[in-house]
Amino acid sequence: MADTQRTPDAYEELNDLRMSEGARPLYEHVKKFIAETVQPMSEEFHRLGENNKDIWSYAPGQLECLEKAKDEAKKQGLWNFFLPDAETGEGLSNLDYAYIAAELGKNSLASETMNCSAPDTGNMEVLERVGTPAQKEQWLKPLLEGKIRSAFAMTEPGMASSDAKNVSMSAVLEGDEWVLNGDKYYISGAGDPRCKIMIVMCKTNNGDDVNRQQSQILVPLPYKGVTILGPMHVFGEPDAPHGHMHIRFENVRVPKENMLLGEGRGFEISQLRLGPGRIHHCMRSIGSAEKALDLMCVRGLAREAFGRPLAKLGGNTEIISRARIEIEAMRMMVLKAAKAMDVLGNKEARVWISMVKAMVPERVCLIIDQAIQIHGATGVSQWTPLARMYASQRTLRLADGPDEVHHMVVGRSELRKYEGGVEDPALAAIWRK
């Protein structure tokens, strides 16, 4: 990579992918807490929800059960540790967080229990960095306390959001209010009855500088003019009650003060948010891949056909080997991208982030798909988590920039090294041919 332009010391440091001494106790604590508290709680939680009539609410007892575990987490100090370099939180490095996030990826309620779940994490980070004292008091505080939840409204149904500049939702300043009009969809978490605040990406300016046309504005929920049209499904799943909502904004008026950072600075805030967020997803994806491989091995040994366990029939042992190799390679890449963010900053680490975002969800999808195949029909059913895991990883290939955009970032960065002309005489000799 562009590493060659850096000092050898920074280059070397990038390859030290060890967890810090300081983080290890937290890491071990989190693993223990997941095993002892989250795992039994999540079994109870799902059991309580089994026959819930209104899927867009929590069944009686569910929230109590979750809150109890959250209280326990808070008590044990396992709370908000996602937040890097902050007064609040543990101030974990991205690298240390990567190790922990892989563990969080193995249980779907683990992140929330420790107040480390998306999209709240990104929203809290944004508010912590760019929020005014009043905004912090009103929204960041209850978020940090786990009292409310939040959403981030970016994607629009009528636009190719692979191009981040494609935003059509308008926000016009009328007097002391911003007036918002437009549709957003795939607003994850907006179905949750506890979701009280959204950050909404808007187009505020039609000026020439395409990097200054967007703004991010706070919109409470529920709110006048804001209509939830319905949930977007993901491979047939509404993911209720969290939900990925389709929301219409009709003359939604919010006070001028709800603007974050300043008009035209929406793109700037996104940059802040997207680095860590993309990596957090990929860290959890490693956990997901590990789980899929676990299930593949267990099922492959437990079931027999033609007189042998499935895991030893045909190409299955090689499939297991390839899954293990991919997981180890992905793990190292995720750790390295996290380290690059720590050492070089989010901006310089951008190519590493794109490499990981383009690499990981695509390959994890394949591993889950192979785990499905070895399970037979049970693999696509609700009896294993595999179909839902697949849907989630498949969707990740579309979210926060589709694979194609990240490959474009990486490919162009590679070509840029050469665009000043070729200097290596050996290469130059070939070039002339």
State yes or no: residue 201 binds a second copy (CB under 8 A): no
Structure tokens at 157: 């149904």
Handedness of CA 304, 308, 311, 313 (dihedral sign): negative
Smallest gap from Cβ 93 to a second copy, in A, equals 14
The residue count for the chain:
433
Give the interface segment with a second copy, choosing from 62-70, 85-93, 145-153, 382-390 (CB under 8 A): 382-390
| Residues from 332 through 351 that contact a second copy (CB under 8 A) | 332-333, 335-336
Give 176 or 431: the residue with its C-beta nearer to a second copy. 431
Binder of a second copy out of 87, 208, 209, 419 (CB under 8 A) = 419
How large is the greatest C-alpha to C-alpha distance in the chain, in angstroms? 78
Binder of a second copy out of 306, 344, 346, 370 (CB under 8 A) = 306
Burial 287-318 (b: 16+ CB within 10 A, else e): bbbbbbbebbbebbeeeeeeeeebbebeebee
Give the interface segment with a second copy, choosing from 140-148, 198-206, 270-278, 311-319 (CB under 8 A): 311-319
Give me the torsion for CA of 68, 69, 70, 71, rounded to 10°: 50
| Residues from 50 through 89 that contact a second copy (CB under 8 A) | none
Give 172 or 210: the residue with its C-beta nearer to a second copy. 210
Going by DSSP bridges, is the β-strand pair 214-220/149-153 parallel, antiparallel, or unpaired?
A: unpaired
Give 48 or 319: the residue with its C-beta nearer to a second copy. 319
Binder of a second copy out of 256, 315, 345, 347 (CB under 8 A) = 315
Structure tokens at 238: 């509404």
CA distance 120 to 122: 6
Smallest gap from Cβ 88 to a second copy, in A, equals 28
Binder of a second copy out of 12, 85, 145, 257 (CB under 8 A) = 12
State yes or no: residue 328 binds a second copy (CB under 8 A): yes
Give 141 or 322: the residue with its C-beta nearer to a second copy. 322
Give the interface segment with a second copy, choosing from 86-94, 114-122, 218-226, 371-379 (CB under 8 A): 371-379
Helix (H, G, I), strand (E, B), or coil: what is residue 278?
helix
Angle, helices 266-302/386-396, rounded to nearest 10 degrees: 150
Give 254 or 340: the residue with its C-beta nearer to a second copy. 340
Radius of gyration of the chain (CA): 23
Binder of a second copy out of 219, 300, 350, 353 (CB under 8 A) = 300
φ and ψ at residue 152, rounded to 5 degrees: -130, 120
Give 100 or 124: the residue with its C-beta nearer to a second copy. 100
Give 48 or 351: the residue with its C-beta nearer to a second copy. 351
| Residues from 234 through 293 that contact a second copy (CB under 8 A) | 234-237, 244, 293
Beta strand spans in 161-258 (E): 170-174, 177-188, 195-203, 214-220, 226-231, 244-255
State yes or no: residue 232 binds a second copy (CB under 8 A): yes
| Residues from 124 through 183 that contact a second copy (CB under 8 A) | 155, 157-163, 166
**First and final C-alpha spacing in the chain:** 26
